[in-house]
């Protein structure tokens, strides 16, 4: 007899982990130390990989396992390692005050999450009572919230490195939306996105390093000044 996993249970686990991902994102917004932000990102990516694995298991979609493995290795392992090395080389450990102060940023984050839910609500069709529809509803909201908060982090932070982290969490949101709604795009597309992100981070890493070399600061607002 073939063992059929209970989709209700899978749904619950995924929703729970998606909520955890969201909590981590809110924690990252309140975080000042660059190293801690990177570690939060690593844990978040690991959770995302776990979500992918759970989706793969409960829907018997074996190609999502590849996505899960790639996420865990690249985003939870390699990228944080690269970024930490970069932080070590630049020698800057703390973020300066963001443009909007932290309590207000956290409030904004809450508002953005709400917006995510409102947007996701319009995709929700209660007449479709299948677990799949409900699953898409919950995780889509979290994914949109991640996306918006990633944007907000990029706008709000001044250091180029934390802006890179904002971009990465934005990408995490995209990945969550993709795997939870469509149960995985074609594998080629996924791998393409992964290498895109990897190359982007490497290029941005070099760019950040160069900015630091040239301007003695990672503060992007100083880029306005032209120098010989």
Partner 1 sequence: MTELLTNSGLQLVLLLLVAPLLSGMIKTLKARLQTRRGPGVLQSYRDIFKLLRKGMVIPETASWIFTVTPYVVFGTATLVGLMIPMTTTHAPFSLFGGVLAVVYLLALGRFFLALGGLDTGSSFGGLGSSREMTISAIAEPAMMLAIFTVALGANSTNLSEMAKVAVGQSWRFLAPSQMLAFAALFIVLIAETGRIPVDNPATHLELTMIHEAMVLEYSGPYLALIEWGASIKQLVLMTLLVNTFFPFGLSSNWTAQTVGVGLVFYLAKLLMLACMIVLVETTNAKLRLFRVPELLMVAFILGALALISTFLF
If the CB atoms of residues 23 and 206 are measured against partner 1, the closer one turns out to be: 23
Closest distance of CB 104 from partner 1, Å? 9
Nearer to partner 1, 150 or 205 (CB): 150
Region 98-157 residues binding partner 1, contact defined as CB under 8 A: 102-103, 106-107, 109-110, 113-114, 117, 121, 138, 141
On whether the CB atoms of residues 22 and 75 are closer than 8 A, the answer is no
Q: List, in sequence order, every residue forming a beta bridge with 28; answer none if it has no partner.
A: none
Among 35, 40, 4, 42, smallest CA distance to 24 is for 40
Q: Are 181 and 136 in contact (CB under 8 A)?
A: yes
Asked if residues 60 and 7 have their Cβ atoms less than 8 Å apart, the reply is no
Residues 5-24 that bind partner 1 (CB under 8 A): 12, 15-16, 18-20, 22-23
Coil/strand/helix, residue 221: helix
CA distances to 21, 44, 78, 82, 196 from 199, in Å: 24, 20, 12, 12, 5
Site mask, partner 1, residues 19-48, x = CB under 8 A? Answer: xx-xx--xx--x------------------
Shortest distance, position 33 Cβ to partner 1, whole Å? 12
Q: Interface with partner 1 includes 189 (CB under 8 A)?
A: no
Residue 51 beta carbon to partner 1: minimum distance, rounded to whole angstroms = 13
- Is the CB of 124 or the CB of 215 nearer to partner 1? 124
User: Beta strands of the chain (E only): which ranges?
Assistant: none
């Amino acid at each position: 007899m073939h063992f059929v996993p209970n989709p209700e249970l899978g749904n619950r686990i995924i929703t729970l982990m998606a909520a955890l991902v969201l909590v981590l994102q809110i924690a990252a917004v309140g975080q000042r130390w660059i190293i801690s932000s990177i570690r939060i990102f690593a844990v978040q990516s690991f959770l995302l990989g776990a979500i992918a694995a759970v989706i793969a298991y409960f829907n018997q979609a074996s190609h999502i396992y590849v996505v899960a493995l790639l996420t865990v290795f690249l985003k939870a392992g390699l990228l944080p390692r690269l970024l930490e090395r970069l932080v070590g080389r630049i020698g800057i450990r703390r973020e300066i005050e963001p443009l909007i102060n932290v309590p207000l940023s956290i409030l904004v984050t809450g508002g953005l999450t709400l917006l995510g839910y409102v947007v996701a609500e319009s995709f929700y069709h209660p007449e479709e009572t299948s677990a799949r529809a409900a699953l898409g509803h919950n995780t889509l909201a979290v994914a949109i919230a991640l996306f918006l908060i990633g944007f907000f982090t990029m706008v709000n932070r001044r250091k180029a490195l934390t802006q890179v982290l904002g971009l990465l969490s934005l990408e995490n949101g995209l990945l969550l939306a993709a795997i939870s709604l469509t149960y995985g795009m074609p594998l080629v597309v996924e791998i393409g996105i992964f290498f895109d992100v990897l190359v982007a981070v490497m290029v941005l890493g070099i760019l950040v390093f160069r900015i630091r070399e040239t301007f003695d600061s990672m503060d992007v607002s100083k880029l306005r000044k032209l120098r010989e």
